[in-house]
Amino acid sequence: MTPHTPRRRSAIVTGAARGIGAAVARRLAQDGLPVGVVDVREVDCAATVEAIRAAGARALAVEADVAHEAAVADAVARVAAELGPPTVLVNNAGIARAASLVDTTTEEWDRVLAVDLRGAFLAARATAPHMLDAGWGRIVTVSSVSAHGDPGRVSYASAKAGLHGLAYTLALELGPHGVTSNAIAPGFIATAMTAATARRLGRDVAEHERLAAAAIPVRRIGRPEDVAHAAAFLASAEAGFVNGQVLHVAGGPVG
Ligand code: NAP
DSSP string, 72-89: HHHHHHHHHHHH--EEEE
- Cα(90) to centroid(ligand 1), Å: 12
- Alpha carbon distance 37, 25 (integer Å): 7
In a domain, 203, yes or no: no
pLDDT at 255: 76
In a domain, 1, yes or no: no
The answer to whether 52 and 24 have CB atoms below 8 angstroms apart is no
Question: 70 Cβ partners below 8 Å, 6+ apart?
Answer: none
Distances in whole angstroms, Cα of residue 86 to Cα of each of 36, 89, 134, 178: 9, 7, 9, 14
In a domain, 183, yes or no: yes
In a domain, 198, yes or no: no
Q: Which domain holds residue 130?
A: 10-187+222-249
pLDDT at 94: 98
Q: Structurally, how many domains does the chain consist of?
A: 1
In a domain, 192, yes or no: no
Q: Whole-structure pTM over 0.95, yes or no?
A: yes
pLDDT at 1: 45
In a domain, 76, yes or no: yes
pLDDT by residue for the chain (255 residues), tens digit each? Answer: 456 788 889 999 999 999 999 999 999 999 999 999 999 999 999 999 999 999 999 999 999 999 999 999 999 999 999 999 999 999 999 999 999 999 999 999 999 999 999 999 999 999 999 999 999 999 999 999 999 999 999 999 999 999 999 999 999 999 999 999 999 999 999 999 999 999 999 999 999 999 999 999 999 999 999 999 999 999 999 999 999 999 999 999 997
In a domain, 4, yes or no: no
Coarse DSSP helix, strand, coil percentages of the chain, rounded to the nearest 5 percent: 50, 15, 30
Q: What is the CATH number of the domain that holds 87?
A: 3.40.50.720
Residues near ligand 1 with C-beta < 6 Å?
Answer: 14-15, 17-21, 39-40, 44, 65-67, 92-96, 115, 119, 142, 144, 186, 188-189, 191-194
Ligand 1: nearest atom to the Cα of 160:
34
In a domain, 78, yes or no: yes
